[in-house]
């Protein structure tokens, strides 16, 4: 089944962009990044910005991210995928990263998980970091994952 990603949440002040692969089915349905309650993204970001935004509505969460110089997008614009698992992504089409030209102070591209991490080479002129996936299935290394996500603070 062909799935289409979401528009980027970035602005001219963005310093760090977090790229996932492609939003899961729930996120695509709601047109909201990381809307699956089992994903720990918003908990991890709350630690990074030192403010609990987990219970806020989506629009306010995004405003808080942008206020803290963090943007969101994905590596893929389109993909065939059954379900929401990255392992099922096939025939993917990359996003048009020339759209990042509006971001004048970009310091870091974070790739959320191993699958997204395989595309770090696309950003030769920028520092990249592969973060442990925010997926709820990746909780076995919780403390290490938190530490790696907290390292984003060094770029804000």
Residue 142's pLDDT is 84
Instruction: Assign 116 a pLDDT band (cuts: 50, 70, 90).
Output: very high
39 noted as active-site residue? yes
Residue 141's pLDDT is 67
9, 36, 39, 88: the active-site residue: 39
Helix (H, G, I), strand (E, B) or coil at 118: coil
Residue 32's pLDDT is 97
Architecture of domain 2-155: 3-Layer(aba) Sandwich (3.40)
Under the phi-then-psi rule, with left for phi > 0, alpha for psi from -120 to 50, and beta for the rest, what region is 33?
A: beta
| Residue 74 or residue 88, greater confidence | 74
């Amino acid at each position: 089944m062909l799935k289409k990603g979401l528009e980027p949440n970035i602005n001219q002040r963005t310093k760090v962009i977090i790229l996932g692969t492609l939003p899961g089915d729930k996120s695509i349905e709601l047109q909201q990044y990381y809307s699956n309650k089992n994903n720990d993204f918003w908990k991890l970001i709350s630690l990074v910005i030192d403010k609990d935004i987990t219970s806020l509505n989506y629009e306010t969460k995004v405003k808080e991210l942008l206020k803290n110089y963090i943007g969101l997008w994905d590596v893929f614009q389109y993909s065939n995928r059954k379900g929401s698992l990255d392992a099922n992504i096939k025939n993917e089409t990359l996003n048009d990263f020339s759209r990042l030209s509006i971001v004048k102070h970009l310091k870091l591209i974070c790739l959320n998980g191993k699958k997204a991490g395989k595309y770090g080479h696309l950003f030769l002129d920028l520092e990249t970091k592969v973060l442990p996936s925010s997926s709820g299935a990746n909780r076995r290394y919780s403390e290490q994952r938190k530490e790696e996500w907290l390292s984003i603070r060094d770029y804000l």
